[in-house]
Amino acid sequence: MTRITRLVGGIALAAVLAAPLAAQAQTSDSDSQIMQGLSQATMFDPSLTAQVLRQMAQDAVAKNLPLTLDKSEIAKRLDKLAQITVQIQFALGSDIIRPESYRTLGSIADAMHHPILMNYKFIVVGNTDTTGTRAFNLKLSQQRAEAIVQALVTVFGVSPDRLEAVGLGQEALQVPSKPEDPINRRVQIFTIGTVGPMPKPMPTNAP
Amino acid sequence: MFRFAFGLAALLLAFTAGGASAQTMSYAEAGALIAKSCGPSIERFCAKDNLGTGEVRNCLMSHQDQVPQQCFDDYAAARASIAKRIAAQSDAYSVCSASAREFCAGIQPGDANLLTCLQTASKVVRPACKQTLTDAGWWN
């Protein structure tokens, strides 16, 4: 398995110095925080795909794996990726994004459309707390992640090739010791790799 | 015509509110504008429709007599601005290629390297390139 280390510009370096990976719990409220989180110098994990994540969550639900006080295996692996956590307000028990969160969707699009991130792909992950059944939470979080991806694509023009939606339900709790705390309801966005090879250096005008 | 002028005024207001000289709103500003002018109507009439499906707009139209005109004007202004910004962002590479060849030879594109180089050369970069980068929201 190859692991790619890529340093994404000066902003990324500043972000790493300012916020080590372990301190990623807080929500990214400002536009610059979104950009910093998504462009952090980090290692990609090519084996951690949207499909693999969905399978891990489905298996955990199907086997009814016990919730531990530690972070789940899924959460631990995700922790290593460049990421942001945002709060998107949904209508109760549904995948309808409330208007108060349209600005946040736009902020995410601003970051994804910037040249710093233009060549990168992302996974949008929906998470719930443990209120409600485990299976329902898994389904709802998938639908919510899909609603976000759809809005980013159709309203804000982000290429669908760059986005995948994953619902993890309650399988990657932010604070496992407080499983019912609303803090666990959140949307995470992870930078998972490049769209294509980086372009060639600029040629000169010289003949 | 009056509606058009009104939308334009809203657009201009959004620019000044943004503080920068960008000719387009950021995507965040566009989202915020739709939420501000249409949010109450969306919550009231379209609570079962998601923004990304296009159904929110259809729903607002179907309640045209109860939705404030400001909502339609601002929604149109936000959409126009988003479209302009997307176009500028996809045109930027070709519009700026002449300037990039001239001033940024050997620069490795990606990770905003070209943009950084062009900004360093801002005094000599061609006006069309500068305008496209401004519309793209990348110049400032």
Tell me: pLDDT of B9 over 60. no
Of residues B35, B49, B100, nearest to A202 (C-beta): B100
Delineate the domains of chain A, giving CATH numbers in brackets: 10-194 (3.30.1330.60)
- What residues in A contact B31, CB-CB < 8 Å? 102-107, 109, 155-156
- Residue A25, pLDDT score: 45
In this structure, the number of other CB atoms found within 10 A of the CB of residue B94 comes to: 10
> Which residues are within 8 A (CB) of A185 and not within 5 positions of it... i.e. 6 or more apart?
A87, A127, A128, A129
Domain ranges of chain B: 2-135
What is the distance of C-alpha B63 from the center of its chain?
26
> B121 CB near a chain A CB, below 8 Å?
no
Average pLDDT across chain A, whole number? 83
Task: Name which of A65, A57, A181 is nearest A125 in CA terms.
Answer: A57
B31 to chain A, any CB pair closer than 8 A? The answer is yes
The whole-angstrom distance between B73's CA and the closest CA on chain A is 17
Distance CA A140, CA A185 (A): 11
Mapped onto helix, strand or coil, the DSSP state of residue B128 is helix
Half-sphere exposure for B57 (CA within 13 Å, toward CB): 14
Angle value at C-alpha A116, between A114 and A120, nearest 5 degrees? 90
Candidates A99, A203, A205; nearest CB to B42: A99
Nearest to B111 among A116, A153, A154 (CB): A116
Per-residue model confidence as pLDDT tens digits over A13-33: 333 333 333 334 457 767 888
Hey, is B38 helix, strand or coil?
A: helix
The residue length of chain B stands at 140
Which tokens is A83 given? Answer: 């990421």
Number of residues that this document lists for chain A:
207
Is residue B85 within 8 A of residue B105, CB to CB? The reply is: no
The winner for highest mean pLDDT among A31-35, B36-40, B126-130 is: B36-40
Mutation target vs B (from A33, A155, A204; most B CBs, 10 A cutoff): A155
ipTM of the complex: 0.82
Angle between helices B127-135 and B69-95 (to 10 degrees): 140
Q: Which residues in chain B are closer than 8 Å to A207, comparing Cβ atoms?
A: none
Contact assignment for B52 to A95 by CB distance below 8 Å: no
* From B52, B107, B138, residue closest to A201, measured CB to CB: B107
pLDDT tens figures, B17-27? 433 345 799 99
> Is B27 in Cβ contact with A109 (below 8 Å)?
yes
In 3D space, the residue among B110, B31, B13 whose CA is nearest the CA of residue A6 turns out to be B110
Q: What burial letters (b/e) apply to A147-186, b meaning 16+ CB within 10 Å?
A: bbbbbbbebbbbeeebbbbbbbbbbbbbebeeeeeeebbb
Interface check for B11 against chain A (CB to CB < 8 A): the answer is: no
pTM: 0.83
Assess contact for B96 and B130: CB atoms under 8 A: no
Measured CA to CA, the distance from residue A115 to residue B109 in angstroms comes to 9
User: Is A155 in Cβ contact with B35 (below 8 Å)?
Assistant: no
What is residue A130's predicted lDDT score, i.e. its pLDDT? 94
Task: With CB atoms and an 8 Å threshold, state whether A205 touches B105.
Answer: yes
Closest CA to B60 of B78, B39, B76, B46: B46
- Top pLDDT among B37 and A31 is at B37
Could you say which of A110, A150, A205 has the minimum Cβ distance to residue B52?
Answer: A150
Q: Is the pLDDT of residue B11 over 60?
A: no
Residue A151 Cα, gap to closest chain B Cα (Å): 4
Angle between helices B69-95 and A102-113 (to 10 degrees): 10
| Cα–Cα distance measured from residue B123 to residue A54, given in angstroms and rounded to the nearest whole number | 50
Do the chains contact at B111 and A115, CB–CB below 8 Å? yes
Stretch among A68-72, A115-119, B101-105, B117-121 having the lowest mean pLDDT = A68-72
pLDDT (0 to 100) of residue A206: 54
pLDDT digit string, tens, across residues B93-124: 999 999 999 899 888 888 889 999 999 888 88
